Amino acid sequence: MRIKKSKIAKQLGLGLCALAFSFAAQAKDFRLGLITPASHIWTQAATDFAKDFEAASNNEHKVAIFPAAQLGNEAQMLQQLQTGALDMAFLTIAELTNRYPDIGALYAPYLVSSVEQADKILESAPAQQLLTQLPSKVGVVGVTYGTGGLRQIVSAKTVDKVEDLKGKKMRITPLDPLQDFYRDLGTAPIALPLSGVYDALSNGQVDAIDMDLELIIGLKFYDKAQTVLLSNHMMFPVVGVVSARVWAGLSDQDKENINVLMKKHLDKTFPLYVEKELEWEKALEQTGISVKKVGPEFFADAMGKWEQKWTKKTPVLAELREASASLKAQ
C-alpha cells in the first residue's frame, strides 16, 4: 500500500493545505494478488470489487489487480501479506491449510453435493468460525468466502473403475487434504501449481489431474484427456483476505467498504458457478471424450480412510459434517 505523495503536492498547490493533507494522507494504492488467469471468475470478481471499492472512496483509493501469480505463488503471496508488502488477495484454501490445518476440513470429500450447498455450508457457524481464526493463525483477515465449484478428475487414459486410477500419477493442488485423499485412493499424488498443469498432462509427467469444470473447459485440459470423471468430490472455496498489518492501519470506513464489497462480489461467484456449470458440462459433452458421472461409492474405502485421519486432525470436521447433514435433510 502506498500513500499518494503526488496528490499531496497537487492539492497543496491549490492552497487547500489543511484539508488537502487530510484527504491525501488517506488516499492509498492497494494491491490485490491471485493465482488465477485474467479470464477466471475469481479475477473478474476481484476487478469488480476494486472498481466498487475505488468508487466508495470517492476515487481516493486505487486497487491494482495482479492475476496469474504475477506476485508469486500463494505461499509467496501469503508471506507478503504477513509483512504487509501485499494488501489483499483472493486465495484458495491450499496455503491457508498448510499453515492452519483446521481449515482443511472444508475439503472433506462429499461434504456438499452441489455449489448451492457449498454456499450454505460456507455460511454455517463452523465455517465462519474458521475465518475468525485467520488473523492469529496466519496473519491475514479472512473477509469472506466464494467458490471455485467442485472438483473433478481428468485422466489421459480411459477410466472405468477406481482400480484404473491405482498407481497413476495424479496432479493435485499442493495441500494435505487432497494428498491424503489421493494416497488413500492408491494413486501417487504430485503437487503442481496451476501454471504447470497443461504441460504436465501433455508430456506424461502426470496421468490425471484433480481440477474444476471452469478450468477443464477454460484451459482446455480435456484436449489431453480420454476420460473426465464428473465426481464433484470436494468443494473448492476461495477466501478474500486482507493483510492483518494493513487492516490495522485502515479507517473504520475502509474496513466497512472492504467487508461489504468483497462479500458482494465473492457472493456472486456462487450463482454464477451454478449457472455456468450447466454450460461447461454441455461443452464437455460436445468434445466427444468420455464423461462419466460418479459419486461417493466410486471412491469406496478412500472416503473412510480420509475421514478417520481428518477426524483426528481437527474437531471442525465433525461440526461441518453435522452442518452438512442438517442442510441435506432440508
**Binding residues for ligand BEZ (CB under 6 A):** 35-36, 92, 148, 173, 194, 211-212, 215
Q: Considering the complex, what minimum distance in angstroms separates the CB of residue 148 from ligand BEZ?
A: 5
Nearer to ligand BEZ, 139 or 174 (CB): 174
CB 193 within 8 Å of CB 215: no
Q: Considering the complex, what minimum distance in angstroms separates the CB of residue 306 from ligand BEZ?
A: 18
Q: Considering the complex, what minimum distance in angstroms separates the CB of residue 271 from ligand BEZ?
A: 18
CB 186 within 8 Å of CB 166: yes
Residues forming beta bridges with residue 2, ordered by sequence position: 29
Q: Residue 64 CA to chain centroid, in angstroms?
A: 19
CB 148 within 8 Å of CB 127: no
Nearer to ligand BEZ, 27 or 175 (CB): 175
CB 152 within 8 Å of CB 159: no
Q: Is the dihedral of CA 63, 69, 70, 72 positive or negative?
A: positive
Nearer to ligand BEZ, 36 or 231 (CB): 36
Closest residue to ligand BEZ, judged by C-beta, is 173
Q: Considering the complex, what minimum distance in angstroms separates the CB of residue 92 from ligand BEZ?
A: 5
Return the number of other C-beta atoms located less than 10 Å from residue 216's C-beta.
Answer: 24
Q: Considering the complex, what minimum distance in angstroms separates the CB of residue 244 from ligand BEZ?
A: 23
Nearer to ligand BEZ, 283 or 327 (CB): 283
Nearer to ligand BEZ, 153 or 185 (CB): 153
- What is the rounded CA–CA span in Å between residue 306 and residue 177? 8
CA angle 203, 185, 329 (to 5 degrees): 120
Q: Considering the complex, what minimum distance in angstroms separates the CB of residue 211 from ligand BEZ?
A: 5
Quick one: cell of 209? 489431474
CB 8 within 8 Å of CB 24: yes
The one-letter amino acid at 128:
Q
- CA distance to 12, 18, 53, 171, per residue, from 152 (Å): 57, 58, 34, 12
Q: Considering the complex, what minimum distance in angstroms separates the CB of residue 234 from ligand BEZ?
A: 11
Nearer to ligand BEZ, 28 or 151 (CB): 151
Residues forming beta bridges with residue 303, ordered by sequence position: none
CB 175 within 8 Å of CB 138: no
Nearer to ligand BEZ, 165 or 178 (CB): 178
